[in-house]
Amino acid sequence: MTEAAAFAAWLGGAIIVLADGRRGLALGLALMAASLAVATFMAGQQVGAAALLAGGIVGSALRYRSGPEGWGLMQPGSTPRIILTIVIGLLSLYLALSISTGDGGALRFAALASIALTSARLLQGADRAAALTAASALALALGAASAIAPAASLSACVAAGIVAAGASTLSVIEPSGA
Amino acid sequence: MEPELAVALPAAGAACATALRPRPRLALGLGALLGAGGVAAVILSAPGAASDLLGVTLSLSAPSRSMLIVAAGALAFVVILAPQNAERSTLLRWGLAGLAGMAAIAVAPTLDVSVMVLLALVLLQVAGQGRRPYARRLRAPALAVALLGLALLFARMPGPPALQKLGAVGLVAGLAAALGTLPYMHEFDPDEPTSTSPIPWIAFVGPLLAVVVLTRARELLPSAGGALGAMLIGLGLINIVWGCVASWRTELGAAAWRYSFTADWGLALCGFGLGVSEGQAGALLILYSILLGRLPLYLWSRQPLREKIQTDRPINLLVAAALAGSAPFAGFPARILVLRGATALYWPLALVIAATLLLWVPSSLRLGRTMGMPTGRQLAGIAVALALSVALGLYPQPLLSLAGQ
């Protein structure tokens, strides 16, 4: 179950990297939120998982209502992005399972891959909708990463949920004159 | 309940100032009142005392508390003696939003929450109307959040000590990206409004963020403290040299000011990296002088820079002396403390730092000229900034005691 959630978190991050339309971005955010919530829940952080799920669902619902039309998945010229998602997945797998040791490898992989993928999307110079979706997803990933240190995780997960939902309320329209 | 109020009151002040934008005087009055309430809450809070009013343990450390008080003082100073072309209510609105974010970063129960607040601040700043495209304004501070997040993740991963060292690299790189120092200098447009430019990161939010990150980093990375210090010193020296030379040689006056902040940060990073009390005290003094001296002076230089007025009057030379860190200004004891710390750690390092201190002279003389011929509020502001710098230079102990030094 945890392994499937970790893979789904990577898939959600990959969709955020590959999508340009609001439907695709909302799907990626919802998938990542649900899978990170499952991974956090399995790590014993039930309340934290609920906060991540709530923040992610609100964020993806708001994103579904605003942004460029359609799915915008894998548009022409997105081959470098596809390669990037695969490379990040493999590197995260290596760091989380081979270099790092002990239990909780799936949560480590999910958090690492999600942070790396959403950061890559933010650095791509995307439009506002994609950048804000990536910021929401980054907040969720940071919240899930805090669950590796259980004592510290609840407040971080709640803050992550609030930031993830809040980022999606910001306007995606570029102010005139900017 | 002081930590909660320290965040809530400035945030309410910023919200009121935003909602009352069509009525600037009312916005200014109400914002100032709520902001003053927030500062009072910070002053009344006991350092290290935890508050659990909201079900989350919040507390304010002594260095963070002192930095918040100085930042609030700098904001009040800049709003009261605002540059002629700047609207006071706009300055207060952005300043209070920054102050609320800074208080939230400082009182947060863990570094994870501080990073989350930083992400929220980044999104709020880039939501404003700037001259640069949205994606380019977002890029560097978002990279900072990502690097800090990765650092926290690596620091917690069980495994070989190399993971802790990777965490240390991430923390230093993330901090540099958040501040906008080398190797992650933020893109800078001299004509952009200060509130949406990189200046708030390097000169207003940055000092508190650095104190919070570096204070908590040593607890988070107990086995990588040496690596963290070495990286801070190395990065600090690079920033001193690059910042001073670029500030002296660059064509644009506003860009020269930005590089001068970088040079000051270099010295502060060296001080923090030394890991001895003199170094920490020196670094804190540098940060206080950025907030109370370099930032207000930069704001008052913007109008003469636009009008391309450069003069060599006594006031310009005094400003140059203050910026160069000569006695009796605040930069002087800061440099002495950093040099003492470096001598205690490894004396050849003190020689290198002492040699780099000379680089401040030509760039400061250049920056002093950019103040033009100050009159009215600008002259009063410069006089107050210089007086504060002299007071801090002659007797820095009260502020250092406030920071627990």
> How close is the nearest chain A Cα to the Cα of B184, in Å?
13
Q: Which among A107, A138, A140, A142 is the top mutation candidate for probing chain B, defined by the most B β-carbons within 10 Å of its own β-carbon?
A: A142
Give the DSSP letter string of B324-382: HT-TTSTHHHHHHHHHHHHHHH-HHHHHHHHHHHTTHHHHHHHHHHTT-S--HHHHHHH
Q: What is the pLDDT of residue B242?
A: 95
Confidence of residue A148 (pLDDT cuts 50, 70, 90): confident
> Closest residue of B to A161, CA-based?
B116
Tell whether the model's pLDDT for residue A174 goes beyond 70: no
Q: What is the pLDDT of residue B192?
A: 86
Per the prediction, chain A carries an average pLDDT of: 90
How does pLDDT run across A85-126, given as a tens digit for each residue? Answer: 999 999 999 999 999 988 888 999 999 999 999 999 999 877
- In which element (H, E) is residue A107 found? helix A105-123
DSSP A69: S
Maximum distance among all Cα pairs of chain A, rounded to whole angstroms: 53
Rounded-to-integer distance, Cα A151 and Cα B154, Å = 17
Measured between beta carbons, the chain A residues lying within 8 angstroms of B131 are 178
Rounded-to-integer distance, Cα B48 and Cα B403, Å = 11
How does pLDDT run across B81-122, given as a tens digit for each residue? Answer: 888 777 888 899 999 999 999 999 999 999 999 999 999 999
Rounded-to-integer distance, Cα B120 and Cα B152, Å = 18
How does pLDDT run across B320-379, given as a tens digit for each residue? Answer: 999 999 989 999 999 999 999 999 998 999 999 999 999 999 999 999 999 988 888 889
Q: How far is CA A53 from CA A49, B140, B335, in A?
A: 6, 28, 50
Comparing C-alpha atoms, which of A174, A162, A139 is closest to residue A68?
A174
Alpha helices in B223-313 (DSSP H): 225-249, 253-274, 277-289, 295-306
Q: Residue B157 and residue A148: Cβ atoms within 8 Å?
A: yes
Contact A27/A60 with Cβ under 8 angstroms? yes
Q: Residue A156 and residue B133: Cβ atoms within 8 Å?
A: no
Quick one: average pLDDT of B5-25? 91
CB pairs under 8 A between A and B: 124
Burial A82-97 (b: 16+ CB within 10 A, else e): eebbeebbeebbebbe
Rounded-to-integer distance, Cα B273 and Cα B218, Å = 11
Per the prediction, chain B carries an average pLDDT of: 91
Tell whether the model's pLDDT for residue B55 goes beyond 70: yes
Q: Residue A138 and residue B146: Cβ atoms within 8 Å?
A: yes
B200 burial type by CB count under 10 A (0-12 exposed, 13-18 middle, 19+ buried): buried
Rounded-to-integer distance, Cα B16 and Cα B2, Å = 21
A111 burial type by CB count under 10 A (0-12 exposed, 13-18 middle, 19+ buried): buried
Confidence of residue A68 (pLDDT cuts 50, 70, 90): confident
Read off the amino acid at residue B262. T
Confidence of residue B225 (pLDDT cuts 50, 70, 90): confident
> How close is the nearest chain A Cα to the Cα of B106, in Å?
14
Contact B175/B166 with Cβ under 8 angstroms? no
Q: What is the pLDDT of residue A178?
A: 38
Q: Residue A146 and residue B112: Cβ atoms within 8 Å?
A: yes
DSSP A19: B
A151 burial type by CB count under 10 A (0-12 exposed, 13-18 middle, 19+ buried): exposed
Tell whether the model's pLDDT for residue B1 goes beyond 80: no
Task: Select the residue of A118, A149, A174 nearest B134 (Cβ to Cβ).
Answer: A174
Q: What is the pLDDT of residue A27?
A: 95
The helix/strand/coil state of B197 is coil
Quick one: average pLDDT of B288-298? 94
Question: Phi, psi (5° rounding) for residue A85?
Answer: -65, -40
> How close is the nearest chain A Cα to the Cα of B159, in Å?
5
Comparing C-alpha atoms, which of A140, A118, A96 is closest to residue B143?
A118
Tell whether the model's pLDDT for residue B234 goes beyond 60: yes
Rounded-to-integer distance, Cα B10 and Cα B139, Å = 27
Comparing C-alpha atoms, which of B72, B53, B47 is closest to residue B5?
B53
Question: Phi, psi (5° rounding) for residue B131?
Answer: -85, -30
Comparing C-alpha atoms, which of B125, B252, B246 is closest to residue B190?
B252
Q: What is the pLDDT of residue A172?
A: 72
Quick one: average pLDDT of B6-25? 91
Q: What is the pLDDT of residue A175?
A: 59
Q: Residue B123 and residue A143: Cβ atoms within 8 Å?
A: no
A69 touches chain B (CB under 8 A): no
Q: What is the pLDDT of residue A177?
A: 44
pTM: predicted TM-score of the whole model, two decimal places: 0.94
Q: What is the pLDDT of residue B177?
A: 96
Confidence of residue B179 (pLDDT cuts 50, 70, 90): very high
Comparing C-alpha atoms, which of B206, B365, B399, B388 is closest to residue B292?
B388
Confidence of residue A151 (pLDDT cuts 50, 70, 90): low
Residue found by looking up tokens 């809530």 in the block: B8
Tell whether the model's pLDDT for residue B151 goes beyond 60: yes
A112 touches chain B (CB under 8 A): yes
* Side-chain half-sphere CA neighbours of B26 within 13 A: 8
Q: What is the pLDDT of residue A152?
A: 59
